[in-house]
Structure 1
Amino acid sequence: MLHLRCCILARLRSSPDTSHGSYLHRAISAAAAAAPVISPNPSFAVEEYLVATCGLTPAQALKASAKLSHLKSPAKPDAVLSFLAGHGFSSSDVAAVVTGDPKVLCSSVEGYLGPVVAQLTGLGLSRSQIARLISYCHGNLHLTSIVSKLQYYLPLFGSIDSTLRALKRGLYLISSDLERVVKPNVAALHDSGLGDCDIAKLCLTNPWLLTTNVESIRAILSCAESLGVPRGSRMFMYAVHAVVFLGEEKIAAKLGYLKKTFRCRGRHCCVQVSNLAEEV
């Protein structure tokens, strides 16, 4: 406006017409046309919001903003952040949630986010654990799915922290079908004589064992048995562990070396191979 006034006054001073009514109208029109157009509703600066309000780093904000380019105002994100803050989520929890799943800022608090948090709290998860879980889900946080899967995984892995560690390592544990994929794999491991603790140990470090096809599990079990360790024995878990880490070809090579060098056989070779596998 100040620039507009200066333009008008400059034109008036240079005009020889002292009765400048019509000229004043033309001057205002010309100056208004030359002035920059300012939008009354400037677009929502998503990256700046993510940094200033959500605690993300500039690099994280740049990556997250690609999934939030449709946002035109901070109304929904403000409601989500207010909900999280009101339920005890720390600033670091919020940053973890938004970094892991930026679209959570577009969620309906009453229709989605509230029920999710309530159900997860009911399973015994703390606020920080819920934040970790959401950040691991990468947008796959569907209420009925995640609750039913946690109800299965929690007793399998023995604790909330162990379950979260497995979920962090195994991205597909959330999206895989329990009935058609996960449970048949666990059943195959059980049928080979592995107990709950053995399965938990194997799958905590190798969560893909739960989400691969059951034929792959059976092939691993057969390979482990071919090492000379019978299914159901105390040493069978070590044989499976070795096969999982090293694969059939490396197992055969290491067994040949151990038999030739140390004259060990059967389960003793298997223990040695398993120890080597842990060093890989």
Structure 2
Amino acid sequence: MIHLRKRILSHLLRPPSPVSAAHISPLFSPHRLLSATKCVAPNPFAIEDYLVSTCGLTREQALKSSKWISHLKHPSNPDAVLAFLSDLGLSRAEVATVVAKDPRVLCADVGRTLAPRVAELADLGLSRPDIARLFILGQNHFRHSSLRLNLEFWISVFGSLDQFLQALKINGALLSKSIEKVAKPNLALLEECGISVSDVTNPNAFLYRMLTTSPKHLQEALTRVHEFGIHPSSSAFSRGLRTFAVLSSEKLTKNIQLLEKLGWSRDAISLAVRREPTILGLTEERVRRSLEFLIGDVGLEIPYIARMPALMNYSIDRRLLPRNCLMNFLKAKGLFSAEFSFFSIATISNEKFLHKYVRPYEESFPGLAAAFASSCAGKHQWEQLYETTCKKRNS
């Protein structure tokens, strides 16, 4: 038994050799491993130590994971699973990731469960590296007999395995929810709203989560979008549907009440939500801090913010504050006599902002670009720059 365990460990530490996508290497076939490990271990099987020394988990991970597999009395089945994973192409670190996320994989029957899943996926045209990627992301779904049908469905929806795996990284529930009762009704509703999953080019957490939410909840989200008067043809429509679909009614109500406590009228809230519904998904801390900055530091009023609610979504420390400080610096130097639109200052791209407001004044104020870059990184040096330039002018 000890020699067998050493062979498995050494195999896990070596790069896997290429093998056929539909077959397990004969050296590590489940039948040979299981027959070779039927003898009882000479010492009691310590599952927590096994998870650390053999599977590569940390002691903390092992303590947490061992609760799920405490019934294991000897390492024969876990050894067979580890050999299977190694033969599939997973590295030792990836094996540790899989076991930490789904410790019960060590109880899976290689011959009856894991190997058939590999064969089914190979029949779909997946390469061995693709199957390994799916195993890492799919967690316990890999053990389910519905995996092939679910995967085939989602690949047809997303257009490719790569696109689906991107979505699976964000929403691991895609493989667990019912296709007929959840996925298809949600997709149908989204298509009615003009939203197609296959058209999404960048990973979208809100959209991917909508696919597995309760169809009833998604329908209620659509109702809220209409109640706020967000027109289906507006760019805010899909953002509103995504926001309302992933947030509970309690969370939405709480954020509306928060805005009212902070001095917003119902009309101002409705206007802001129609233009940028995502503000209702912000945390209370984020809402309070954004408004404190926009009202207290910039000097904006609630009606202005309600017309330009996207301001609340921008980072204060890395975008709004640095730009506001720079503009105040330039105004203090007499370069701006008229008031500027803070919304245009905030929403302009970084490259355009540098081109228009930083580079033209770098020669007159050496260190301006560096001060702005430091400010965007959270280190504000405007007072120091102001004092430096004043000394140079007076010398």
Q: TM-score range by the shorter chain?
A: 0.5 to 0.7
Q: Is the partner of 1:231 in helix, strand or coil?
A: coil
| Residue of structure 1 in register with 2:103 after alignment | 102
- Alpha-carbon distance between aligned partners in 1 of 2:169 and 2:230, rounded to the nearest angstrom: 32
| Residue of structure 1 in register with 2:9 after alignment | none
| Residue of structure 2 in register with 1:86 after alignment | 87
Decide whether the 8 Å contact of 1:251 with 1:273 is kept in 2: no
Equivalent pairs, count = 240
| Residue of structure 2 in register with 1:220 after alignment | 221
User: How big is the shift at 1:59?
Assistant: 1.3
Decide whether the 8 Å contact of 1:243 with 1:251 is kept in 2: no
Please give the per-residue CA displacement for 1:18-71, whole angstroms capped at 9, x wherever unaligned: xxxxxxxxxxxxxxxxxxxxx994211222222122111111122222222222
- Alpha-carbon distance between aligned partners in 1 of 2:70 and 2:179, rounded to the nearest angstrom: 34
Q: Is the partner of 1:141 in helix, strand or coil?
A: helix
| Residue of structure 2 in register with 1:178 after alignment | 179
| Residue of structure 1 in register with 2:210 after alignment | 209
Relative to structure 1, the CA distance from residue 248 to residue 98 in structure 2 (aligned partners, 3 Å threshold; closer, same or farther) is: closer
Decide whether the 8 Å contact of 2:171 with 2:209 is kept in 1: yes
Relative to structure 1, the CA distance from residue 42 to residue 196 in structure 2 (aligned partners, 3 Å threshold; closer, same or farther) is: closer
Q: Is the partner of 2:100 in helix, strand or coil?
A: helix
- Alpha-carbon distance between aligned partners in 2 of 1:243 and 1:277, rounded to the nearest angstrom: 16
> Pairwise mapping of residues 256-271 of structure 1 onto structure 2 (< 5 A)?
268=275
Relative to structure 1, the CA distance from residue 270 to residue 105 in structure 2 (aligned partners, 3 Å threshold; closer, same or farther) is: closer
- Alpha-carbon distance between aligned partners in 1 of 2:139 and 2:90, rounded to the nearest angstrom: 19
Whichever residue aligns with residue 84 of structure 1, its letter is: L
Please give the per-residue CA displacement for 1:79-101, whole angstroms capped at 9, x wherever unaligned: 22222222322111211221122
Whichever residue aligns with residue 164 of structure 2, its letter is: T
- Alpha-carbon distance between aligned partners in 2 of 1:202 and 1:223, rounded to the nearest angstrom: 25
- Alpha-carbon distance between aligned partners in 1 of 2:234 and 2:41, rounded to the nearest angstrom: 75
Relative to structure 1, the CA distance from residue 241 to residue 260 in structure 2 (aligned partners, 3 Å threshold; closer, same or farther) is: same
Whichever residue aligns with residue 95 of structure 1, its letter is: A
| Residue of structure 2 in register with 1:164 after alignment | 165
- Alpha-carbon distance between aligned partners in 1 of 2:128 and 2:106, rounded to the nearest angstrom: 17
Aligned-residue sequence identity (percent) comes to 36
Whichever residue aligns with residue 222 of structure 1, its letter is: T
Decide whether the 8 Å contact of 2:88 with 2:132 is kept in 1: no
| Residue of structure 1 in register with 2:360 after alignment | none
| Residue of structure 1 in register with 2:50 after alignment | 49
Decide whether the 8 Å contact of 1:192 with 1:231 is kept in 2: yes
| Residue of structure 1 in register with 2:154 after alignment | 153
Decide whether the 8 Å contact of 1:51 with 1:57 is kept in 2: yes
- Alpha-carbon distance between aligned partners in 1 of 2:211 and 2:48, rounded to the nearest angstrom: 38
- Alpha-carbon distance between aligned partners in 2 of 1:251 and 1:243, rounded to the nearest angstrom: 13
- Alpha-carbon distance between aligned partners in 1 of 2:61 and 2:273, rounded to the nearest angstrom: 51
Q: Is the partner of 2:57 in helix, strand or coil?
A: coil
User: How big is the shift at 1:187?
Assistant: 1.0
Relative to structure 1, the CA distance from residue 279 to residue 149 in structure 2 (aligned partners, 3 Å threshold; closer, same or farther) is: farther
- Alpha-carbon distance between aligned partners in 2 of 1:40 and 1:115, rounded to the nearest angstrom: 29
Whichever residue aligns with residue 188 of structure 2, its letter is: A
Please give the per-residue CA displacement for 1:94-145, whole angstroms capped at 9, x wherever unaligned: 1122112222222222221112223335556666664554455553434431
Q: Is the partner of 1:119 in helix, strand or coil?
A: helix
Relative to structure 1, the CA distance from residue 186 to residue 85 in structure 2 (aligned partners, 3 Å threshold; closer, same or farther) is: same
Decide whether the 8 Å contact of 2:217 with 2:245 is kept in 1: no
Please give the per-residue CA displacement for 1:228-262, whole angstroms capped at 9, x wherever unaligned: 333255542133244447765446959x679759x
User: How big is the shift at 1:183?
Assistant: 1.0
User: How big is the shift at 1:212?
Assistant: 2.6
- Alpha-carbon distance between aligned partners in 2 of 1:145 and 1:72, rounded to the nearest angstrom: 30
Whichever residue aligns with residue 66 of structure 1, its letter is: K
Relative to structure 1, the CA distance from residue 169 to residue 196 in structure 2 (aligned partners, 3 Å threshold; closer, same or farther) is: closer
Decide whether the 8 Å contact of 2:213 with 2:246 is kept in 1: no
User: How big is the shift at 1:197?
Assistant: 4.5
Whichever residue aligns with residue 54 of structure 1, its letter is: C
- Alpha-carbon distance between aligned partners in 2 of 1:43 and 1:174, rounded to the nearest angstrom: 37
| Residue of structure 2 in register with 1:117 after alignment | 118
Decide whether the 8 Å contact of 1:100 with 1:137 is kept in 2: no
User: Unaligned regions of 5+ residues in structure 2, if any?
Assistant: 1-39, 279-307, 317-395
Decide whether the 8 Å contact of 1:55 with 1:92 is kept in 2: yes
Q: Indicate the RMSD between aligned Cα atoms, in angstroms.
A: 4.0
Decide whether the 8 Å contact of 2:210 with 2:242 is kept in 1: no
Relative to structure 1, the CA distance from residue 148 to residue 50 in structure 2 (aligned partners, 3 Å threshold; closer, same or farther) is: same
User: Unaligned regions of 5+ residues in structure 1, if any?
Assistant: 1-38
Whichever residue aligns with residue 87 of structure 1, its letter is: L
- Alpha-carbon distance between aligned partners in 1 of 2:309 and 2:187, rounded to the nearest angstrom: 24
- Alpha-carbon distance between aligned partners in 1 of 2:311 and 2:163, rounded to the nearest angstrom: 23
User: How big is the shift at 1:218?
Assistant: 1.4
